[in-house]
Amino acid sequence: AGPERPGGALAGGAAGATTWTGRHPRPTGLLAEVTYRCPLHCAYCSNPVQLAAYRAELTTAEWTGVLDQARAAGVLQVHLSGGEPLLRPDLPELVRHASSLGMYTNLVTSGIPLTAARLAALATAGLDHLQLSIQDATADAADRVAGGRFHDRKLAAAALVTTLGIPFTVNVVLHAGNTDRLAGIAELAVALGADRLELAHTQYYGWGLRNRAALMPTHEQVERAAAAAADVHRRHGDRIEIVYVEPDYHTGRAKPCMNGWGSRQLVVAPNGDLLPCLAAGQLGLPTPSARTTDLADAWQHSALFNAFRGTAWMTEPCRSCALRDADLGGCRCQAFQLTGDAAATDPACHLSPHHDRVRGAAGTPVRLPAVPRRSR
């Protein structure tokens, strides 16, 4: 199959064909969400709840066109994600194409379904790294969250990955149901031979936001999780890199989401929507499509990518805050979800006038960090 528009945005695009004349720095990372289809049903999934708009997935030729344009725009790393990217039969072809352009390729996967032959094809295509999600330390607990008998198949997938010597990260989303088993989860990642372990508390988007009440850990659980993360780091930090991502609902601090809007990374949704972050589709702003718009053009000139760049869009209290260049006012999508205003201060920040919406959901008082104020 060829591009839907042979003369359009995806038709040209050999690497290096675009001369960079834009005023914004080039993007360096691309999150390619090749499908939202997935065999798992995790309650914390951050993908959009309304999936009908994403069923018309980009074809293989359209994706290779996106990769050409991304490389020409400056992208060095491609994260092939979803949904479950292994459900795309053309995944090895996409990896091979990205590799041939000199890009670092990372597969973000549940490991379902993964066979030895499929993994070998991906390795031959040039796959550089793999991120494997694990739901919990034990099969029963993990399978309850994933909605099926998947855990043992994931362990088998990890064994295939280590056999082929592909560097890999174990990714774990933490929530009320598994934070107290953090140590056991870390032991499992070590036993699987992972190079890196990422323990990240749930981000409340998509299904995660809908299921927030059930997923939200208590303040005491979060304190225990932080202590357990420090402990496993002490015990295993010489063998495995361990990254622990705190929950912004409990810290009182906003996270610098995507390292800044339209700053370093972009997302291409399964239907070709070009987005500054995973959840930006819900903001209701006009969304450029890879089917009709050149990726670099969207990055540079579209209203969506320019909506929250830098700090000029900020309102108080961010505008006069000393931390505004560090956390960039937090997450625009979380601000929109919780206040209806994407330009508001992220309610995760304890200085937000809407912070009670986060504190109320977290159920317990947070420890307020000392935040210096910028003098005007």
Which chain residues interact with ligand FES by CB under 6 A?
A: 257-258, 277-280, 331-333
* Alpha carbons 89 and 125: distance in angstroms, whole number: 13
Which residues fall within 8 angstroms of residue 2, CB to CB, at 6 or more apart? 59, 61
Cβ at position 304, least distance to ligand SF4 in Å? 21
Cβ at position 297, least distance to ligand SF4 in Å? 30
What kind and span of H or E run contains 65?
helix 60-73
- For ligand SF4 (CB under 6 A), the number of binding residues is 14
Q: Which does 67 bind (CB under 5 to 8 A by kind): ligand SF4, ligand FES, none?
A: none
End-to-end CA distance of the chain: 58
Contact 51, 3 (CB under 8 A): no
User: Does residue number 358 form part of the binding site for ligand SF4 (CB under 6 A)?
Assistant: no
Give the residue with the Cβ less far from ligand FES, 48 or 272: 48
Q: Which of 12, 39, 193, 317 binds ligand SF4 (CB under 6 A)?
A: 317
Structure tokens at 170: 């174990």
- Of 220, 221, 219, 228, the residue nearest 199 (C-alpha): 228
Q: Which does 86 bind (CB under 5 to 8 A by kind): ligand FES, ligand SF4, none?
A: none
User: Does residue number 248 form part of the binding site for ligand SF4 (CB under 6 A)?
Assistant: no
Binding mask 209-238 for ligand SF4 (x = CB under 6 A): ------------------------------
* Alpha carbons 270 and 58: distance in angstroms, whole number: 6
Contact 43, 211 (CB under 8 A): yes
Q: How far, rounded to the nearest angstrom, does the alpha carbon of residue 350 sit from its chain's CA centroid?
A: 24
Contact 244, 7 (CB under 8 A): no
Give the residue with the Cβ less far from ligand SF4, 31 or 349: 349
Binding mask 252-291 for ligand SF4 (x = CB under 6 A): --x-------------------------------------
Cβ at position 279, least distance to ligand FES in Å? 4
Q: Which does 335 bind (CB under 5 to 8 A by kind): ligand SF4, ligand FES, none?
A: none
Q: Report residue 321: phi and psi, to 5°.
A: -95, 140
Q: Which does 280 bind (CB under 5 to 8 A by kind): ligand FES, ligand SF4, none?
A: ligand FES
* Alpha carbons 227 and 113: distance in angstroms, whole number: 35
User: Does residue number 346 form part of the binding site for ligand SF4 (CB under 6 A)?
Assistant: yes
Cβ at position 126, least distance to ligand FES in Å? 30
- Of 27, 32, 39, the residue nearest 80 (C-alpha): 32
Q: Which of 70, 95, 269, 349 binds ligand SF4 (CB under 6 A)?
A: 349
Give the residue with the Cβ less far from ligand FES, 51 or 230: 51
Q: Which amino acid is at 341?
A: D
Residue pointed to by tokens 């998947």: 150
Give the residue with the Cβ less far from ligand FES, 154 or 255: 255
Structure tokens at 120: 């070998």
Give the residue with the Cβ less far from ligand FES, 31 or 278: 278
Give the burial string for 131-149 (b: 16+ CB within 10 Å, else e): bbbbbbbebebbbbbbeee
30 SS3 class: strand
Give the residue with the Cβ less far from ligand SF4, 184 or 317: 317
Cβ at position 323, least distance to ligand SF4 in Å? 4
Q: Report residue 211: phi and psi, to 5°.
A: -100, 20
Cβ at position 168, least distance to ligand FES in Å? 25
Sites of contact with ligand SF4 (CB under 6 A): 254, 317-318, 321, 323-324, 327, 329-330, 345-346, 349, 351, 371
